[in-house]
Amino acid sequence: MKPNLRHLRVFLAAFDSGSISQAAGLCSVSQPAATQSIRKLEEHFTSKLFHRTPQGLLLTDAGGLLANRVRRAFALLDPALGDLSPRLHLTATSSQLTALVAGVEMENFTLAARKLGLAQPSVHRAISDLEKDAGRPLFERTSRGMHATRPATRLAQAVQLAFAEIYQAEADLGELSGREVGRIVVGAMPLSRSSILPEAIARFRRRRATLPIQALDGPYDDLIAGLRRGEVDFLVGAMRDPPPIGDVVQDPLFDDELIVVCRPGHPLLAEFNLQPAQLSGFPWVVNIPGTPARNMFEKVLSGPERPTSLVETGSMVLMRELLQVTDHLGFISSLQIRSDLLQGVVVRLPAHLADTTRPIGLTFRAGWIPTSAQRDLIADIRAATAAISGRE
């Protein structure tokens, strides 16, 4: 359950002014209502937020952590609210904004209601009330459905990022009181799933045995979109050059080598000093267009040396199975397929291809501040990559 936005505004005003009565005036509520807002937040976060002293309010350590996160949340949310109406920051509620996000994602009130587990009229009313306060429609109704306006789309993304900061606050305060709260969501690209994350999670579990970790796979565009919406904490895998968009940052871990693999007994294994021209006559299994591995394949085997028979897939399982029953060649990360190489399921072909390394790293939202648990997992990822790449 999300905390009440007005309660959070009262809390921040009380922190800034050092006074419940001044916070009440700043937020246009009564003093008893302001006191109640603070009490409800303390119940929600199961943490004492203020010490009451004759000199005024003093933040507890928990209050300080929450204030930092709440200030960041409103710095994201309020400009997007202000773009629609100067009064929305006073009237918009968590339930209205949650309904808006679902409406933007699903482009259908019935589907949005189903996603939220609510009745369709409740979602419709929440969005209609938000539109009324904004003084403008947030969706364009057409014969083909409804589409969010640009301001509504911007607001939905700001809402998701603001709520992500609040979830981070809950984890921060839980950590402070010795509780494990929340979960870590990692966007796991193929290399990280097969080599980096298993080792990193094993290290992490020695210190934090119960904190949930969700490793999401999927197309890179979906993962980066989830990162920018605050649904994914960070990505691990092949970096993009240039970075995909200006509001993310990439942090390199190591350089990974891409190699050519084939089945044991492949006819090319009898050859020596293989050159690109000798490889083009065989069928290949390669990554899908637009990925770093595929871009590198196109670079090193281009022009007349480019193979004409390609199977495009992001599945290492499909590559492995196809290589075992045909004379296809595969172009893949040496770390990603390391286990199969060690077991002799596939073998490395001694082909001479230039410039076949790519950077592997972490991708974050610009300005993102991790929780203590997230920092621990990132440290374990760094340690795992150092061990795997031989630098430990």
Topology of domain 182-252+360-388 in CATH is: D-Maltodextrin-Binding Protein; domain 2 (3.40.190)
pLDDT tens for 53-77 read: 887 788 999 999 999 999 999 999 9
Q: Tell me, what's the pLDDT at 390?
A: 62
- Give me the phi and psi of 140, to 5 degrees please: -100, 120
Average pLDDT over residues 148-161: 96
Strands 284-286 and 357-365: unpaired
Average pLDDT over residues 129-147: 88
User: Does residue 388 surpass a pLDDT of 90?
Assistant: no
Topology of domain 5-159 in CATH is: Arc Repressor Mutant, subunit A (1.10.10)
Average pLDDT over residues 228-254: 94
Angle 339-352-334 (CA atoms, 0-180°, nearest 5)? 15
Helix runs in the chain, H state only: 5-17, 20-26, 31-45, 61-84, 88-91, 94-106, 109-116, 120-134, 150-176, 190-191, 197-207, 220-229, 276-279, 292-300, 316-325, 338-343, 372-388
Domain positions in the chain are: 5-159, 182-252+360-388, 255-359
* Chain centroid offset of residue 259 CA: 29
- Alpha carbons within 13 A on the beta-carbon side of 136: 14
Average pLDDT over residues 160-177: 95
- Give me the phi and psi of 93, to 5 degrees please: -110, 165
Average pLDDT over residues 346-371: 92
Q: Enter the DSSP assignment of 274.
A: B
- The share of the chain scoring above pLDDT 70, in percent, equals 99
Q: Enter the DSSP assignment of 18.
A: S
pTM of the model: 0.89
Contact 260, 352 (CB under 8 A): no
**Looking at the DSSP assignment, which residues form a beta bridge with residue 15?**
none
When pLDDT is cut at 50, 70 and 90, the band that residue 392 belongs to is: very low
Q: Tell me, what's the pLDDT at 186?
A: 98
- How far is residue 318's CA from residue 322's CA, in Å, rounded to a whole number? 6
- Alpha carbons within 13 A on the beta-carbon side of 98: 18
Q: Tell me, what's the pLDDT at 215?
A: 96
Q: Tell me, what's the pLDDT at 391?
A: 52
When pLDDT is cut at 50, 70 and 90, the band that residue 145 belongs to is: confident
Of the given ranges (88-97, 139-148, 261-270, 346-355), which has the lowest mean pLDDT? 139-148
SS3 state at 367 = coil
Q: Enter the DSSP assignment of 135.
A: T
- The share of the chain scoring above pLDDT 90, in percent, equals 78
Domains 182-252+360-388 and 255-359 are alike in CATH topology: yes
> Which CATH number applies to 255-359: 3.30.930.10, 3.40.190.290, 3.40.50.2300, 3.30.750.24?
3.40.190.290
- How far is residue 84's CA from residue 124's CA, in Å, rounded to a whole number? 19
* Chain centroid offset of residue 237 CA: 13
**Is omega for the bond preceding 370 within 30 degrees of 0, making it cis?**
no
User: Does residue 307 surpass a pLDDT of 60?
Assistant: yes
